[in-house]
Each structure stands twice: as C-alpha cells, then as structure tokens.
Amino acid sequence: MPAKKVKCIHCGTLVDEFVTECPNCGKPVANKWAPTKVSEAPWKWTPAKKKMNPLIPVAAIAVVVAVAALVYLRMIK
Ligand SMILES: [Zn+2]
C-alpha cells in the first residue's frame, strides 16, 4: 500500500499523510488551526522570573504531617 499523499494546507505541496510538518513550508500540514509560529527552542526561553513560593511545599508537608499525627493520636487512644 503506497503512502497516501495529502496537500499541505498552507502551500499546496503534496506531502506524506503522516508527516506533521510540511517539508516545503515548515508549517503543520494537517491542522490549519495549529499555530504556524512555533515557540522557540527551550534553551532560548528566558527563565521564568516568578519563582514558586518556597513556603507552599513546606506548608503542604506540614499539613500532611499534622493530619497524620492527628489520625495516629486517635488510633492509639
Ligand atoms: Zn507547505
């Protein structure tokens, strides 16, 4: 069974059915709603300036420990 060819919706080039990007224009072939401007490579991303509050995981652990302690205290009564 020969590979089915589909037309690139952007430039009309016939491309293999299952390729995701047109070799001619480099845009996504199948989904015309897909963004044609792909994001930059990850190593070009600027690091996020807002860091996660370091207190949040600590607080979550404290809550878990507190609940576990309460359950434990109820069990040994
Ligand atoms: Zn194309």
pLDDT at residue 39, as a whole number: 61
Domain ranges of the chain: 1-32
For residue 18, what are the contacts with CB-CB under 8 A and spacing of at least 6?
3
Cβ-count burial 16-28 (b if 16+ within 10 Å, e if not) = eeeeeebeebebb
Amino acid at 10: H
The beta strands (E) that lie in the chain are given as 5-7, 14-16
Say which residue the tokens 């979550």 belong to: 60
- The model's pTM: 0.35
Q: Separation of 15 CA from ligand 1 center, angstroms? A: 8
Q: Separation of 7 CA from ligand 1 center, angstroms? A: 8
Q: Is the Cβ–Cβ distance between 31 and 23 less than 8 Å? A: no
Residue % of the chain over a pLDDT of 90 = 26
Q: Separation of 4 CA from ligand 1 center, angstroms? A: 16
* Residues 62-73: tens digit of each pLDDT: 999 999 999 999
